[in-house]
Amino acid sequence: AQKITQTQPGMFVQEKEAVTLDCTYDTSDPSYGLFWYKQPSSGEMIFLIYQGSYDQQNATEGRYSLNFQKARKSANLVISASQLGDSAMYFCAMREVSFGNEKLTFGTGTRLTIIP
C-alpha cells in the first residue's frame, strides 16, 4: 500500500482563488511528521509547512495552512489567495519517527497551475 497518496496529478486554479491539495497517508506509527514541499520548474525543493502527529492545532505558515484530519489520515495543503508564482509541483511527505525511519516518504506530487 502507498504510504503517501496524492490523488490529483494536476490542478488548474484561477489567480486569487484558494486551492486545496489533497494528501492521505498510511502509517501505524503513533509518532510521525507530515511535510509539504514545493518544486518550481527550476527544480529545487522548497519546504513549506510541517504538521506533527501530536499537534493539536493545524499548522499555518503565511498563505499556507495544513488541514490535518488525523482520524481520516489526511493532511491537505491549503493555499489562500493563489498567485502566479504558486505554479509548481507540490509534494506531501511523511517521516515515521517511532519506527526509526529516517527517510521522508514522498507522494507522487500534484502539479498546480495558476491561471491569470
Partner 1 sequence: DADVTQTPRNRITKTGKRIMLECSQTKGHDRMYWYRQDPGLGLQLIYYSFDVKDINKGEISDGYSVSRQAQAKFSLSLESAIPNQTALYFCATSGTSSPDTQYFGPGTRLTVL
The answer to whether residue 37 forms part of the interface with partner 1 (CB under 8 A) is yes
- Closest by CA position to 61, among listed 74, 69, 50: 50
**Least Cβ distance, residue 50 to partner 1 (angstroms):** 5
| Stretch touching partner 1 by CB under 8 A, among 12-20, 33-41, 71-79, 80-88 | 33-41
| Stretch touching partner 1 by CB under 8 A, among 10-18, 20-28, 31-39, 62-70 | 31-39
Q: Which residues contact 5 (CB under 8 A, 6 or more apart)?
A: 23, 24, 25, 26, 107
The answer to whether residue 93 forms part of the interface with partner 1 (CB under 8 A) is yes
Give backbone dihedrals phi and psi of 115, rounded to 5 degrees, phi first. Answer: -100, 130
